Structure 1
Amino acid sequence: MNLKPWLFAALLPCTAMAAGPDSAALSVSSSSFTDGGVIALQQVGQDPACGAGEERTPQLSWKNLPAGTQSLALVMFDPDGGKGIGVVHWLAYNIDPQSDGLEEGKGGLTSKALMVGRNSRGTMAYRGPCPPAGDKPHHYALTLIATDLPLGTLPEGLDRSGLMELLQGHALGAQSLVGRYGH
Structure 2
Amino acid sequence: MLVRGSILAGAVAFAALSVSPANADGVFTLTSPSFKDGERLATKNAGNNKSNPNCVGENVSPALNWSNPPEGTKSYALLMFDPEGRPPGGVSHWVAYGIPVSVTGFAEGEVSKTSDKYVGGTSLMKLPHYFGPCTPPGPLHHYTFTLMATDLEPTALAAGLDRAEVMKALDGHVKQATGLIGTFSKP
Is residue 138 of structure 1 aligned with residue 141 of structure 2? yes
> Are the counterparts in 2 of residues 70 and 150 from structure 1 also a CA contact under 8 Å?
yes
Measured in 1, the distance between the counterparts of 2:185 and 2:28 equals 29
Q: CA deviation at 1:83?
A: 2.0
The equivalences for 1:30-69 within 5 A come to 30-47=32-49, 49-50=53-54, 52-69=56-73
Q: Distance in 2 between matches of 1:107 and 1:174?
A: 20
Residues 28-53 of structure 1, C-alpha deviations (whole Å, 9 max, x = no match) = 10111110000011210114623521
Q: Runs of 5+ in structure 2 lacking a partner?
A: 1-16
User: TM-score under structure 2 normalisation?
Assistant: 0.82
With normalisation by structure 1, the TM-score equals: 0.83
Amino acid in structure 2 at the alignment position of 1:170: H
- RMSD in angstroms over aligned alpha carbons? 1.6
Distance 1:103 1:123 in 2: 19
State which of 92, 110, 114 in structure 2 corresponds to 1:110: 114
Q: Residues 109 and 117 (structure 1 numbering): CA distance in 2 closer, same or farther, change over 3 Å?
A: farther
Unpaired runs of at least 5, structure 1: 1-19
Question: 2:77 & 2:113 partners in 1: Cα distance?
Answer: 14
Q: Which residue in 2 is equivalent to 1:177?
A: 180
* C-alpha deviation, 1:21, in angstroms: 5.3
8 A contact 1:44–1:50 mirrored in 2 = no
One-letter code of the match for 1:148?
D
Give the conservation status (yes or no) of the 8 Å contact 2:83–2:90: yes
| Runs ≥4 residues deviating over 6 A | none
**Higher normalized contact order (CA 8 Å, seq sep 6+, divided by chain length):** 1
Equivalent of 1:98 in 92, 98, 102: 102
State percent identity of aligned pairs.
39
Q: Which has the larger radius of gyration?
A: 2
Residues 47 and 109 (structure 1), Cα distance of their counterparts in 2 relative to 1, 3 Å cut: closer
- Aligned to 1:38, what secondary structure does the other structure show? coil
Letter paired with 1:105: G
